Amino acid sequence: MSTIGALKESIGPEQPPAHTGFAGEAVALAYIALIATIASLTGAFYVMFPELGALSHDVFTRPRGTWARSPMMLAVTPVLTGAVGVAVTNWLPYGYASVMLIVGASILIIELLKSPVAPAISAGLLPRVINVTSWWYAPGIMLGTFALAGLSILWKKIAAPAADNPPRDHPVDDALEETGSGYLWLAPLLTFVLVATFIVKLTGLRFILFPPLVVIGFEMFGHTAICPWAQRPLWLPVACFLTAFGGLVVYRLFGFNFLTAGCSMAWGILVLRWFNLHVPPALAVALLPMVMDHPTVWYPISVGIGTLTCTVWFLLYQSHIEPYWTRETAG
């Protein structure tokens, strides 16, 4: 299977089996609480990498999923993109050049490694958005991702022993790869990143381009046919706004600790269950206030603006640009 095929499968329509759903969520909550405790005790807040919420939820609720079946990539990919993000943050100020360089380099790393771990893009962009210049950022991420990779292997043996040789139940992969559109979808994705960066510079609201949003867009534009939230995009801004708002409220109530991490992620899970959406990056949105400097109500507002902008651009792309490319490549 190609890299794109593997990435598509990672967010495919497969839902967690009944016996791993609630149990997997409980394990994911315990894991996030543990990571937050380590971050709190050490003072290294960057250990609390928000996308660990998305990764852990998917790994523990879908032990047959691509992330769970790729423990090495799960451990390594975010560390590499995180190192790139810190390097660029130290070299360049926030702007078009730094954002595009980080996003482009992160996507390139994913492709070169043939890694299915798209949330690694968020690991790269986060240092630039919150201005992390410490070279300990990447090792801090390593602590969480390597621990998650090890736990995923153990959990797979407990919850889904047949996951080592799962059936190929995503025939849509091959059909999509035969369209011949290749990497053309990167153009509208990177265009969106440029536009979002412009809005950030215009408004001063840096979290309009919050790091998980690039992951959300990466999957929407690149793997539309099987991306769960691409099928119901109009609910995406609402769900992300609510997860962001809940995460902010919890953080303001309890501060930085394991209780905040657990409650924020639990709130995110409840929101997604309420809307019946499978959007792992939204769980990272709920955890982001824990790594922000004095988050305010402008955080959920920014998330809402950014997600709505992405949704509108995606709908325009889907209705006008993608059909044209499909006709051209078919001809």
Mean pLDDT throughout 76-98?
A: 97
The tally of domains found in the chain comes to 1
Find out whether 9 and 114 touch, Cβ atoms under 8 Å: no
Task: Determine the Cα–Cα distance for residues 76 and 80; give it in Å rounded to an integer.
Answer: 6
Stronger pLDDT, 195 or 15, i.e. the higher one = 195
Average pLDDT of every residue of the chain: 86
The C-alpha R_g of the chain, in whole angstroms, comes to 18
Mean per-residue pLDDT, 172-189? 58
pLDDT, tens digit, 9 for 90 and up, residues 204-227:
999 999 999 999 999 999 888 888
pLDDT in tens, 42-55: 888 888 889 999 99
Please report the pLDDT score of residue 165 as a whole number: 44
The answer to whether 264 and 287 have CB atoms below 8 angstroms apart is yes
More confident residue, 14 or 97: 97
pLDDT at 237 over 90: yes
Across 224-236, average pLDDT: 87
Other residues' Cβ atoms within 10 Å of the Cβ of residue 302: 25
pLDDT at 163 over 70: no
Domain with 234, as residue range(s), is 3-330
Distance CA 330, CA 5 (A): 20
What is the maximum span of the chain, computed from C-alpha positions, in angstroms?
60
Nearest by Cα to 176 from 217, 221, 213: 221
pLDDT in tens, 4-32: 444 444 444 444 443 467 889 999 999 99
- The answer for residues whose C-beta is within 8 angstroms of residue 270's C-beta and 6 or more apart is none
pTM: 0.86
- pLDDT number for residue 328: 53
